[in-house]
């Protein structure tokens, strides 16, 4: 809900969508920069003790954003508050992900992750609709206040998390640099995947505009989210697939890049929607296989920090995809820009498949 709500409330505060984009950038940057540090804290302290206050603080900060805009407070404060709203809970996704294995066990983990993907993508599909409806019926300020309600619910739910600490201690030996070296390949490929999503998000409105079907851009992004949920579910239902988790993720990423690059030959809005759906079906297995691969290479004392680094890579990749498309689309057609990004991602995946796996 946050990105769209921030764009709308930024426009309400200043009359300029560029300021809304600045708030989104501040929020995303706060997440990406703070995720490793926040993940470190998640490894050192019990999840109930860390996730609850982080989500509660996020709720307060979004409430403060709504208050500042509603009372016509200083606009200069809004980017700082948005950045803090991204930074403070940045370790929560990694902390929750590292806790999942303790709760369900390794045997049930693929199915649990499939369910997690379905829930996640359902939220991505429904959240913009909820924000849009709230902003249209009331105001963008109310929509931001509504965003604050959900981390508050999460903070209360986190009180039911395990109270015991993980395997890390205050003197855990695996440092950030060492962990980054262990995960560098996975992080780069995760960023490449999210670069693709960022590009497909930014290119959707002009792409469907070019086929005189602008309203279908939202449908296409919804189809992408739905496809990702379904792809993850199908991947998790089957217990075994050929190759290692890393090879499975790389192979699906290669297919994803090739499919998107092949969109250059399409000229129908309906086919573009189907392209987004197929891309989502391929992304689901990439996400799950990559996450399962992390299970095998993460040091026990740095699980939350490792998953937080993955979420940081997601943020950087998504931002890079949007930036590249924003620059490219001014000099070429939307299809050509998307084809270039698809080809880049396919090439990265192919190189990864050909390189020998290293621990």
pLDDT at 217: 78
- Residue position matching structure tokens 């200069």: 76
DSSP secondary structure string, 240-274?
--SS-HHHHHHHHHHHHHHHHHGGGG---HHHHHH
Q: What is the model's pLDDT at position 169?
A: 46
The whole-number pLDDT of residue 359 equals: 46
DSSP, collapsed to helix, strand or coil, labels residue 161 as coil
pLDDT at 170: 47
Return the pLDDT at 250: 94
pLDDT in tens, the chain (359 residues): 888 888 889 889 998 777 887 888 889 889 888 988 888 888 888 878 889 999 999 999 999 999 999 999 889 999 999 999 999 999 898 888 888 877 887 788 888 888 887 888 788 778 878 888 888 899 999 999 999 999 999 999 998 887 765 544 444 456 777 888 888 889 999 999 988 887 887 788 788 878 888 778 778 888 888 898 899 888 888 778 888 999 999 999 999 999 999 988 888 889 999 999 999 999 999 988 998 888 888 887 788 888 888 888 887 887 777 777 767 777 788 888 889 889 999 999 999 998 876 54
Distances (CA, A) of 325 to 7, 33, 89, 245, 267: 18, 23, 28, 30, 20
CATH topology of domain 174-359: Growth Hormone; Chain: A; (1.20.1250)
What is the reported pLDDT for 164?
A: 62
Please give the pLDDT value at position 220: 86
- Global pTM? 0.76
CB 23 within 8 A of CB 9: yes
pLDDT at 168: 47
Answer whether 334's CB lies under 8 Å from 210's CB.
Answer: yes
Domain boundaries, the chain: 1-166, 174-359
């Amino acid at each position: 809900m946050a990105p769209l709500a921030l764009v709308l409330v930024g426009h309400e505060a200043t009359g300029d969508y560029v300021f809304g984009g600045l708030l989104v950038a501040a929020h995303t940057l706060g997440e990406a920069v703070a995720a490793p540090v926040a993940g470190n804290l998640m490894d050192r302290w019990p999840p109930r003790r860390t996730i609850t206050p982080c989500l509660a603080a996020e709720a307060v900060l979004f409430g403060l954003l709504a208050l500042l805009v509603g009372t016509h407070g200083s606009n200069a404060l809004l980017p700082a508050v948005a950045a803090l709203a991204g930074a403070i809970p940045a370790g929560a996704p990694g902390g929750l992900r590292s806790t999942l294995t303790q709760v369900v066990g390794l045997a049930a983990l693929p199915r649990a992750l499939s369910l997690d993907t379905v829930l996640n993508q359902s939220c991505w599909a429904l959240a913009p609709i909820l924000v849009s409806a709230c902003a249209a019926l009331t105001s963008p300020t109310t929509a931001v206040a509504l965003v604050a309600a959900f981390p508050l619910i999460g903070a209360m739910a986190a009180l039911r998390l395990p109270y015991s600490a993980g395997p890390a201690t205050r003197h855990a030996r695996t440092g950030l640099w060492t962990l980054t070296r262990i995960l560098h390949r996975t992080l780069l490929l995760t960023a490449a995947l999210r670069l693709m999503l960022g590009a497909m998000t930014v290119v959707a409105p002009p792409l469907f505009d070019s086929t005189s079907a602008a309203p279908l851009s939202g449908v296409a992004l919804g189809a992408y989210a739905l496809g990702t949920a379904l792809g993850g579910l199908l991947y998790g239902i089957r217990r075994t697939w050929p190759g290692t988790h890393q090879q499975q993720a790389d192979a699906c990423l290669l297919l994803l890049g090739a499919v998107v690059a092949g969109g250059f030959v399409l000229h129908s809005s309906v086919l573009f929607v189907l392209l987004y759906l197929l891309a989502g079906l391929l992304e689901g297995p990439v996400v799950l296989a990559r996450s399962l691969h992390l299970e095998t290479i993460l040091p026990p004392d740095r699980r939350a920090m490792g998953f937080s680094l993955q979420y940081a890579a997601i943020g950087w990749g998504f931002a890079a995809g949007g930036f590249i498309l924003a620059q490219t689309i001014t000099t070429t057609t939307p299809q050509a820009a998307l084809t270039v990004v698809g080809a880049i991602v396919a090439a990265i995946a192919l190189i990864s498949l050909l390189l020998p796996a290293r621990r």
